[in-house]
Amino acid sequence: MTAVVIRGGLVVGESSSSRADVLIDNGRLVEVATSVSAPSGAYNIDAQGCWVGPGFVDLHAHLREPGSEAAETVESGARAGALGGYSAIVAMPNTEPPLDTPALVAYVLERGARTPLDVAVAGAITQGRRGELLAPMAEMAALGVRIFTDDGTGVQDPAVMRRALTYAKPLGVRLAQHCEDERLAAGGSMNEGALSSRLGLVGRPALAEELMVLRDLELVRLTGGPMHFLHLSTARSVGLVAAARREGLPVSCEVAPHHFTLDEGAVATFDPIFKVHPPLRTPKDVAALRAALRSGEVDAVATDHAPHAPEQKDLPFDEAPPGMLGLEHAAALTYEALGAREASPELLFSVMSRGPARVAQLRAGDYRVRHGAHGGPMRAGDDANVVVFDPEARWTASRHSLASRASNTPYDGRAMLGRVRALVVRGELVVIVGTLA
């Protein structure tokens, strides 16, 4: 294995950062110091002006395998993730069939092991994601599954969710809920409000999300089972989870880049690229999500990367499937939301790496996936899962230059600031100068 030296970047620790060189050898950080002498033959990465921190971790990637390989595969999704700076991604279980048995989990883990990243798997909470009978969670946990979710839909029946939380606690796993009450959201394709009335589209009310957040917070209080709230999209939702955390409940939450960069106004184009569940909300919600991110109330930015093949996505708005791509643009969008040149590097790495690594139990001392620990402190001895992020790089997002098999990004043509320059996974260079090695 060739040694790698990352020179002259700002090395981002948990609470402070300093300019240093990073020497990587044999899959580990060997030295972090103002000037390191490299072994001969080492690969040098110039990181002047860049932020050097633990590789990003995505809690929420729909990799579509098995079942919808025309839209994405584990392999293409991992390439998209690598370009986005991720050293680990969590594959969601709403595949066809859903990942609700140890055999299906093992299949995706095995596909993931052929990629350069760590691909962790989230298992389904219920058999077939039908929300009725619990899936064999213990058997899947034995394979290393640490997150269970029926994402795509929320578990509607409170008795089922109560039982799942009761099981989750002793297993040491976390449930992740897609918060939308199906009856309140029924038939809706955008946020419910004055705009949906004007456009003549049926709405999905904010209350459909908030009611389920409220219900599940009470179920967590009752059972003590830990819960992660997926893709929160309203001001009230993030406020509720933040308040519950202050009370000491075992809860965490994520927000997705599209919910803090786009609002429901985009739907006036009737372009199905802007259709997503939960839907894009009001400008006020967008501002509240950005404020929550900046105040540290959000554990993770998670992409909800949801590839769809063009022939499936290009339908009239109310018929198109929900979801948009995320892996390749999340870092720049998060940097922008944190204030771009005003952004705190520690906060960027908290929401993009350390927070999600904690939620997914991918840190040192947790269950170890192939490439070791993620979200580390950037000290000598850490497993070398490292990203180099250039906060000054200007570029333009394009749907035509994505590693993903799908192209349903809402950011085509958007000017971006901040880009992944390099990614090292367990000491191996995966991305160099912004392209796959």
- Among residues 226 and 322, whose Cβ is nearest to ligand NCD? 322
- Among residues 75 and 151, whose Cβ is nearest to ligand NCD? 151
178 binds ligand NCD per the rule CB under 6 A: yes
Binding-site member from 175, 306, 369, 406 for ligand NCD (CB under 6 A): 306
Task: Quote the least distance from Cβ 61 to ligand NCD, whole Å.
Answer: 10
Output the CA angle 329-334-340, nearest 5 degrees. 110
305 binds ligand NCD per the rule CB under 6 A: no
151 binds ligand NCD per the rule CB under 6 A: yes
Task: Quote the least distance from Cβ 91 to ligand NCD, whole Å.
Answer: 11
Q: Which residue has the tokens 């490292």?
A: 386
Q: What is the dihedral of CA 221, 222, 225, 228, to 10 degrees?
A: -40
- Has 25 been annotated as catalytic? no
Task: Quote the least distance from Cβ 124 to ligand NCD, whole Å.
Answer: 13
226: Cβ contacts below 8 Å, ≥ 6 apart: 168, 169, 174, 175, 220, 250, 251, 252
Task: Quote the least distance from Cβ 40 to ligand NCD, whole Å.
Answer: 48
Output the CA angle 250-251-252, nearest 5 degrees. 135
304 binds ligand NCD per the rule CB under 6 A: yes
- Among residues 91 and 332, whose Cβ is nearest to ligand NCD? 91
Distance in angstroms between the alpha carbons of the first and the last residue of the chain? 15
- Among residues 94 and 191, whose Cβ is nearest to ligand NCD? 94
Residue 38, CA atoms < 13 Å, CB-side half-sphere: 16
In angstroms, rounded to a whole number, what is the distance separating the alpha carbons of residues 361 and 145? 10
Q: Which residue has the tokens 């929320």?
A: 154
- Among residues 9 and 93, whose Cβ is nearest to ligand NCD? 93
The DSSP code for 4 is E
What DSSP assignment string belongs to 90-119? EEPS-SSS-S-SHHHHHHHHHHHTTSSSEE
Q: Which residue has the tokens 């958007």?
A: 414
- Among residues 151 and 299, whose Cβ is nearest to ligand NCD? 151
297: Cβ contacts below 8 Å, ≥ 6 apart: 238, 241, 242, 245
* Annotated catalytic residue within 100, 181, 299, 304: 304
**Residues in region 84-143 near ligand NCD by CB under 6 A:** 94
Binding mask 272-301 for ligand NCD (x = CB under 6 A): ----xx------------------------
Binding-site member from 323, 326, 410, 418 for ligand NCD (CB under 6 A): 323
* Total residues in contact with ligand NCD, by rule CB under 6 A: 11
The residues binding ligand NCD (CB under 6 A) are 62, 94, 151-152, 178, 276-277, 304, 306, 322-323
Which residue numbers are catalytic? 304
